[in-house]
Chains A and B, each alone.
Chain A
Amino acid sequence: MQLFINIAFANNGWLVAIRSKERNNINFLGNPAGRPILFSHGFGCDQNMWRFVAPAFTDRYRVVLFDHVGAGASDLASYSFERYSSLGGYARDVLEICREADLEDVVFVGHSVSAMIGVLAEIEEPERFGGLVLVGPSPCYIDDGDYVGGFTREDIDELLESLESNYLGWSSAMAPMIMGNPDRPELGAELTNSFCRTDPAIARHFAGVTFLSDNRADLRRVRTPTLILQCSNDVIAPQTVGEYVHRAIPGSELVVMEASGHCPNLSAPQETVDAIRAFLGD
């Protein structure tokens, strides 16, 4: 059957193959012949999360940036509540990106929930990866017996409610608030549109998938050399969680950063870059 359409009505069951290049708004930077380093953003933003970190790798690496489906400039029509009902759907996207761009010996850098997305992709196709960098990882956000994830189920329900009340305003009013920052002229024009913007329904679903996931049992199956970057004072992924991940992934390396908060890629880009470079032996 010949199909001319390139939009998918995932909810109507009309499906069409869309390549990950468009689906995930993939951007290639840096040295085309270099070792690929794939940056994967977490819940709440898009590939702009890496804007202060990725440029440090363009000299030697083939830098690959992308948006998860539903975030940033990804193709919203490709979003399927079914495919993305677990982190496995996102991990499949990561592998499809790698396959379509022929990436080998990939350094995967995943922030927040993308750390576990990387873990799942690595377990599926370990030969594809040469290194995993997990920035603020948490295999399970909810407390469970002796395991302290940092949150209760009620906390997560409250988050979903918070998202709802915020996106009420944000869904149509995000764009006007985005302006240039006089201190950082490089952030100028490209920010005028959808910055860290997410479809409200997708954000809510992604939040549920993210914060209700439990990938603790997967950690010990990782074989690729792994670096864990743990921030101080991270309320999303506390230090005990980083230590848990470190104990569970065989041979992994844990670096506790001075940076505080959950986004060292934004708050302490140089410290983040230095830690990744040291891990890669640059």
Chain B
Amino acid sequence: MPSAGRSGEDVRRARRRPAAEGVDENLEDLYENAPFGYLSTLMDGTIVKVNTTFLTLTGYTREELVGRARIQSLLPVGDRIFYETHFAPLLAIQGQVREIAVELKSAGGARLPVLLNGAVRRPAPDRPALVRFSVAPATDRREYERELLRARQRAERSEAETRQLAQILQASFVPPELPPVPGMDAAGVYRPAGRGDEVGGDFYDLFETPRGWALSLGDVCGKGAQAAVVTGLARYTLRTAGMQRTRPRDALALLNQAVLRERTDRFLTAVYAQIDRDGGEGPRVTFSLAGHPPPVRVAAAGGIEPVGRPGTLLGVFQDPALHESVVDLSPGDVLVFFTDGIIEGHGAADLFGEERLAGTLEATRGLDAKGIATRLVDEVVSFQSGLPSDDIAVLVLRVPREAPVPDTPEGVEGPGSGLA
């Protein structure tokens, strides 16, 4: 068919005449008028060859540059130092550099942001080595990079502010320091998870109530602002309950209702304890556990064991099962309250666990409350290579072996006070 024949002929003609045919491109022109400035220097930076594009970009004449100027002299002083300390060593050692951002001083004094790529060329062993540079104008790109840099600086500032906010908020979850409790040595340590830049959910408290001293310690599920709201609520609800002479079990039930009313999806575990000093040789601790790891008693007479009857966590059920347990402490006894950041600390292979907890506490016999709490937290942090996966809160109560200083009416009445 005629049409088919014509079509075949077109194809053959196209084959004979490639698209590039007749195009006037030659190497000389490719060099001189390339879309990049080109610059060749000796290793010391002396310019030996330059293309027309470079001269057009910078406004210099060939005579001003070739054999007379060094590339360093075209750079403002900051970039010149950078060239000598970074750029020149890299060229000497690895033979090339790429994407170096510098400014060129043009003949008129204006500064031209460019990106330089450089490669060392050794024509022959007896000829001096050359460095060939391509020079790409980068005015818009540099502006974009500056904007990126500013954005990063803003982000860093904002991150620092957030971290500070987290730390301030965090600090409100534990007392700045524990008040002195008559006849009792008490200490608390709090260590946030990781590097401590996110607000966590652990809290503890130790305060005087109309019927003696009370302590609380708990762990709200999750992190961040929402968990912080519940953590603050928990600490102060339990404080208020204590002031109203509420029993430990009822204090936790009150907190359960308060959290349910918040309509948050956060829940928490907590322990609340009442410390009574009337009668007996040492203090009596009455406490209630809500989904919380039981405290561990280190008895002066020997033995390390968890104590207390477990209960339901708070903020989930309308009617949690909560109980009260009683521990009578003798002189030298220690009672350690903690959050699960202790026993569930992830090591390389397994969790810190109750055995390591017991082992560590065994090794702290003889230390005061502060020493015990610090040692325990240090061990758990070390176990996790310095970066705990969860917040850790520890509150240690210790009954000193010596008689308490009788600075309260209770202390005076206490039968143990005569031992001094």
Contacts and interface: CB of A to CB of B under 8 A. Distances in A.
A and B: interacting chains:
yes
B313 interface: no
B44 A267 contact: yes
A162 B88 contact: no
B140 to A, nearest CB: 14
A261 B93 contact: no
A256 interface: no
Contacts of A261: 44-45, 84, 88
Nearest to A181: B95
A168 B149 contact: yes
A196 B77 contact: no
Interface in B196-222: 196
B97 to A, nearest CB: 7
B386 A9 contact: yes
B81 A2 contact: no
A12 B81 contact: no
B-side binding surface: helix, strand, loop or mixed? helix
Interface in A225-282: 233-236, 260-263, 266-267
A51 B93 contact: yes
A16 to B, nearest CB: 8
A179 B84 contact: no
Nearest to A42: B85
Contacts of B89: 44-45, 49, 196, 263, 266
Contact of B78 (A14, A43, A155, A179): A155
A183 B100 contact: no
A166 interface: yes
A159 B82 contact: yes
B290 interface: no
Interface in A168-183: 168-170, 173, 177-179, 181, 183
A4 B380 CA distance: 10
Interface in A151-207: 151, 155-166, 168-170, 173, 177-179, 181, 183-184, 187, 191, 195-196
A217 interface: no
B383 interface: yes
Interface string A1-12: 111110101001
A173 to B, nearest CB: 7
Among B82, B90, B93, B146: residue with most chain A CB under 10 A:
B93
A112 interface: yes
B7 interface: no
B94 A195 contact: yes
- Name the residue among B72, B77, B196 with the largest chain A CB count within 10 angstroms: B77
B171 to A, nearest CB: 16
B117 to A, nearest CB: 9
A213 interface: no
B79 A162 contact: yes
Contacts of A196: 86, 89-90, 93
Given A169-B99, A181-B95, A163 B82 contact: yes
A183 B379 CA distance: 55
Contacts of B92: 263, 266-267
A48 interface: yes
A198 to B, nearest CB: 9
A165 B99 contact: no
Interface string A138-159: 0000000000000100011111
A53 to B, nearest CB: 12
Contact of B85 (A1, A44, A187): A44
A166 B78 contact: no
A234 B45 CA distance: 12
A1 B373 CA distance: 13
Interface in A105-147: 112
Given A195-B94, A261-B84, A183 B122 contact: yes
Contacts of A162: 78-79, 81-82, 101-102
B101 A112 contact: no
Which of B81, B95, B379 has the most A CB atoms < 10 Å from its CB? B81
A263 B378 CA distance: 48
8 contacts: A14-B386, A16-B386, A44-B86, A151-B77, A160-B78, A163-B82, A166-B86, A173-B99
Given A166-B102, A196-B93, A260-B44, 6 more contacts: A5-B382, A44-B89, A158-B78, A165-B142, A177-B97, A235-B81
Interface of B: 43-45, 72, 76-82, 84-86, 88-90, 92-102, 120, 122, 142, 145-146, 148-149, 195-196, 375, 378-379, 382-383, 385-386
- Give the top 5 A-B pairs by smallest Cβ distance, nearest first: A158-B78, A44-B85, A181-B95, A266-B92, A159-B78
